[in-house]
Amino acid sequence: MPFVLTVDQRGSQHTRDEVDRAVEALGRVPTLLPFRRTVGDEFQGLLDDPVSVLGVILSLRRTTTWHLGVGIGAVDRPLPADRDPTRAHGPAFVAAREAVDRAKSDPHHLAVVAPHAPDEASDVKTVLDLLGTVRQGRTRAGWEVTDLAQTGLTQAGAAERLSISRQAVQQRLRAAGWAVEDAVRPTLVRLLARADDAAR
């Protein structure tokens, strides 16, 4: 079953509208229906790959800009011919609406709703929150090295790219909690897939 991500900008009445920029940045993510603005300061997309879902969630959670709701469930077929998610329907879209509303009062600004798999959705949410706590205190230098590590670049390669010592790379990775994130990412993919299976 697909995943619907509904995203709402926090405090948009007091800040610049960031929706178009976010939608453009997510334009290369594989989707069933691409991310598009739905109404006001909100946007939405439909995905079916847990790896892509996790990538979007972690990308959006790098800032405090968004309330993020994840809905897991069925969608009505056929999908809109114009690929507009605002014209799509089904339980996953209802779940995503509930999730983004919950996210607005959640300390991590994130909620995951799967009506037919509540325990699995709760597991995803819990591990995402723990990983978010690890990433929350990451410095700019920490993001530099973890972004390179995520591409598969070796520590020696990262050191050369950043013109620092390999020992400095190791220290930055340790301070950034990269070992935890590297271990947790595949776990989250499995949990998302499990929630998807249980929601069928």
Q: Is the pLDDT of residue 11 over 90?
A: no
Share of the chain above pLDDT 70, in %: 100
pLDDT at 12: 72
Joined tokens for residue 196 = 């998807």
Q: Is the pLDDT of residue 116 over 80?
A: yes
37: β partners: 43
> With b meaning 16 or more CB within 10 Å and e meaning fewer, what string describes 117-141?
beebbebbbeebeebbeebeebeeb
Provide the CB-side half-sphere exposure for 10 (13 A, CA). 17
Q: Are 161 and 152 in contact (CB under 8 A)?
A: no
- Going from N- to C-terminal start, the domains of the chain cover 3-117, 140-176
Looking at residues 77-90, what average pLDDT do you find? 94
pLDDT at 43: 97
Residue 74: alpha-carbon gap to chain centroid: 20
Q: Is the pLDDT of residue 112 over 80?
A: yes
What are the tens digits of pLDDT across the range 12-42?
777 788 999 999 999 999 999 999 999 889 9
What are the tens digits of pLDDT across the range 156-193?
999 999 999 999 999 999 999 999 999 999 999 999 99
Q: Are 124 and 185 in contact (CB under 8 A)?
A: no
Indicate the fold that domain 3-117 takes in CATH. Alpha-Beta Plaits (3.30.70)
Q: Cα(first)–Cα(last) distance of the chain, in Å?
A: 6
Q: Residue holding tokens 């009445």?
A: 13
Q: Is the pLDDT of residue 200 over 80?
A: no
